[in-house]
Structure formats: C-alpha cells, structure tokens
Structure 1
C-alpha cells in the first residue's frame, strides 16, 4: 500500500486549538519503532514538545492474520483501548505519559488521535546498555509499578474496554486459548519455514505436554502484555514511564513474566517478581517463542522498514523452538 504520513499543515487546527493562536508548529518528526500506530513529536516555536499518536490504517504495518476468536491479545490497538488502559494505569499509580487530548471524532484528522506528554526519548533499554548503575533506580521503580499492576486482581480476563462493556468472552480457560494461539502460530510459521514444517508434529506434542501440566485458575492480574525495556521511557527526573499501553489486559501474570524474563535478561530479578506458577510460566514462555517466529515472518513480508531485524528475530526464535524438542 502507499503510505501517507502526517505533514505539518495537517496539524494546523490541532495546534491552534490546543496551544493557542500565538504558538506555531516549528517541526514535526515521525518517530521510528512503531508498527501499529504512528508516533510523532511536535516541536512548537517556543521549543515546547508533545507527542501525537495516530491510529490510521496507513500507520499500521501488520497484515491480517487468522486469530483465535477469544484471544485477548488480538487487535490490541486503537484509541478506545488506549483511553481505557490509560485510566487503569493512572488508577494503579503507574507512570505513563500524561494524556493531554483524545480525539475520536475526526475533529483534526480522519483517524483517532491522542496528544500526550513528551517524557523524552531515553528508553530504559538504552540506559541499561549505556549506564547500568543509572538504570538501577528506574528498574526498581518499574518493578514496584509492576507489582501494583499484577496484584490488581479481576475475576475476568480480557481487554479492559471489553470487560467494561460486558463483552469479554469467558467460555474457555486462558491456557486453552494460549494452546490454540501457539498452534496457530506454528501452522502459519511452518508454511514459511521447512524446518518448522518437518518438526511440526514434535512441536505440537511439546505444546500439548506443557499445557497438560497447567492447573486451572479463575483470578487474573493486570498486565501490560508485551513489556520490554524498549517500552519504558525514562524521564529526565529518572522516572520509568510505560508506553505502548494498548495491549493492557487482565490475564495470567505468568504471561507477562515470561516476556519480562526474555526481554530484561539478567536485570529481570530487579523487577521484584510476584510469586509465579512454574508450569504455567514455562508453557507461556514456549508459546511466546512460537509467536515471535510467526509475527516477525508475517511483518517481514510487508513494507516494514526494518525487515532484516524481523527476520533475525524469527531466526533466533526458530532455534529456541527446535532446541526445546
């Protein structure tokens, strides 16, 4: 598809209404890294900056894919989810860029928009690599925030907006959903890679074996969904601020911790993890490996600008999937 990104003239009315007629947009920068929504930094003529999120089809690089119907992580994008999840994080005293304006009525652009505080461009990932000592306090603070989230309990799993509307499906267990999700990722990835096709039956058996060791549960915690150190910005005062919050959901906290262990590596223990079920954790860890094969291979078939990185990510997880069997 031909992608058309925002230009400064597109934001004339937004800037005038939100910041007054005496201020002008001096620069517009589209930030890299996003794959589902556009992220732009607006710099005004007094050097103040804000961030604009844009949920438009032209900003979303992900192609359609078959999904498990009750998978709460499917289609985790959009202004409705952002608004509900922002409210939940605020209630849990979890730092995230402050919401300044939400437009779902097309006042300024034919797509949903959110204007948020600019907390800077320093990610926790970069700080951990460049200055581990300086990252220690933000890591500990993030761990405290995660404990508040993961001990915020609910009797239903699913997206917060769906739960609020009474539309969250609860017909099956979370572990059955993840099993179907994992096998769906395997089917899609095996169609693209002969090694997975050859090992498909053994991988399927391994997934079912892991699922069989998991006992039932009916209480869930509030999780981010795909929290890595690249999804945490560190403010100039050293506060960690979560971003990409649209995937927030009530689910098993082991799903979050399987991801955190992978993404934070040796720094994971600094996050003060809550008590976890080891069998559920291992099952979810392997399911995420399969997801991180299928997803990157799919997006690499599009015009996503960093295709090589996606292919390398898929290759790394193919090795992990095969090593386990």
Structure 2
C-alpha cells in the first residue's frame, strides 16, 4: 500500500470478501479512510485448478493478464469497471500475481430484484441494458481476446461443443440421470449445433455476466466485475446466459437481433456447463455447499428437459 499510494496509506483492516471461484478478494481499509480491493490470482486457491492445468476452457477466463487487458479495453470504450491501481506480476516475494483495485461502495444488481422503489429498479436495469448495448456494439470479424487478431478460423461455438462433451463426461459419473441420458444429451448437442449457420461477425462480451458480476454504486451506476473472461464472441453466448441469470429482469437487457438457433445451442451448453460446475465446486470444498448442490441440481433438470423435448 505504501509503495503504490504513499506513506500515508497504512492498512488498518483487511477483510476477505465473497469472491468468485477463481480468485481471492480482500477489502483493505486504511487508517486515513481510503478503501480499495486486493485481488489475488493464486492457482492453488482456484476451484477450477484441475481444469486450467488440463487446458480446459476455464483457461480463457483466468489470470491477471486477462484482467489487465480487459480492464484497459472496457475503460477505453466507456464501460464502467473498477479502476486498476496497480498490478504486481513479479512473483519475487509471493508465488502469485496480485492487484490493487478500486473499491465500489455498493451492492450487486441482484439486490435490486426486490427493491421497494420501481423507479430505482428501472433506472438500475435500464442503465445496465444501455451499458451492455454499448459494449456489444464493439465488433470485429474474428473471435478471441481483445489482443488476439489471428483467431477465428473456425466457428467459435465449436469450443462450446467440445466443452459440453467434457462437462457431460464429468457429470455423468456423479448424477445418475445424466449418466443414463448422456448419449441422448450428446445427440441433442449435435442436433442444435447442426442448425447453426456460419458467421464472421463477433461482438465484445463479458462471458459470464450474472447479477453477481454487476456492482451498483450509490449513484445507481453499474460496474462490471470478474471481467477476465471478456472477449469477442457470439453475442448469443452472452444473451442466453443473461436470460438464465436475470430471469424476469432480462426484459431490460433484451436484444431483438439474436439468432434463435445460436440462443438455443448456447442455452443448452450453459445448463451442461453449470451443472458440471456446481458438482466441481461441491467436490472441491466450495464453502457454500448448498449453493453448489442447488446449482448442479437445477441445471441438470434444465438439461434433461431437452431430452423430454420441452425446450426444442
């Protein structure tokens, strides 16, 4: 703190915050009243460590380099996200990268679901909708990270095809209904993929934007957090996830120009990925065990609805 901000910044309290599954987050309060956040990318503390080491899709959403890259890109394009004060990647004193980041004093977008004032509710979600529209308006002809220009030789949804197979293989070992229906689920995956027509236009998306990844300050301004997975990709990947996570509040975020075949394919992929993700959190000691169970069970039921033909 002294090295970055000066001798007047003495940490008086450090509190662990409820962070994501891939990095550790602390709130630091200084004796002079200044508050900031410490991010730590320690792979040994990552609940998806095995997947990253195996070269799984999670490698696309982990690491300080991706945070710095996307933080710069979003801010340059007028999308609010906490300011990066300092990033340390030296690994001389500690075996991990860490950053000091702006503290946004507020609540997640989820806390506005039950807000008593509908005008406040409207303002928060309309502003979020406007922000996402501005972010998604950034387009290019290849998919991939903001600093990669050579990707995109194949349709980007192929990555999700392969990931879904991997996640189904994992889940089928632990959930009887998924194991029994594994081949049917894979057949549905191929059927939904076969409907997708080629595309060469991609938008910049967050990649995993739930209401817990939006902070709202006291001016009712939304800020995007957990931005490591942001990239140029099919916009339907984002919107199918928004639809799942925001429920009724998705009406503020809707886009009328989406490809319905891609929407259905990505929705199916998300259910498979989230049911497997819930199981992995459960098996790897995630502190909120009930959340992990509920996540796996809910999305398993959603995936099986496709087998029953309700969603296709």
Q: TM-score, normalised by structure 1?
A: 0.88
Q: Does 1:178 align with 2:160?
A: yes
Secondary structure, in 3 states, of the residue corresponding to 2:107? coil
Matched-pair contact (CA < 8 Å) for 1:37–1:56: yes
Q: Does 1:154 align with 2:140?
A: yes
Following superposition, the deviation at residue 180 of structure 1 comes to 1.8
Aligned residues: 306
Cα distance in 1 for residues equivalent to 2:186 and 2:254: 33
Deviation above 6 Å: which 4+ runs of structure 1?
66-70
Change (3 A) 1:276 1:176: same
Q: Deviations over 1:216-252 (max 9, x none)?
A: 1111000000001110000111100000000001100
Structure 1 residues without counterparts, runs of 5 or longer:
1-14
Which of residues 209, 221, 239 is equivalent to 1:227? 209
Change (3 A) 1:96 1:224: same
Q: Does 1:18 align with 2:4?
A: yes
Change (3 A) 1:55 1:128: same
Following superposition, the deviation at residue 320 of structure 1 comes to 0.9
Cα distance in 2 for residues equivalent to 1:67 and 1:23: 37
Matched-pair contact (CA < 8 Å) for 1:223–1:249: yes
Name the structure 1 match of 2:310. none
Q: Deviations over 1:273-325 (max 9, x none)?
A: 25100011011100110001111111211121112211111001111111121
The CA RMSD measured in Å over matched residues stands at 2.0
Matched-pair contact (CA < 8 Å) for 2:108–2:214: yes
Following superposition, the deviation at residue 17 of structure 1 comes to 1.4
Name the structure 2 match of 1:36. 22
Cα distance in 1 for residues equivalent to 2:173 and 2:52: 13
Matched-pair contact (CA < 8 Å) for 2:109–2:211: yes
Name the structure 1 match of 2:274. 292
Which of residues 35, 38, 54 is equivalent to 1:52? 38
Matched-pair contact (CA < 8 Å) for 2:56–2:163: no
Q: Deviations over 1:178-211 (max 9, x none)?
A: 2222122111111211111111121111111111
Following superposition, the deviation at residue 76 of structure 1 comes to 0.9
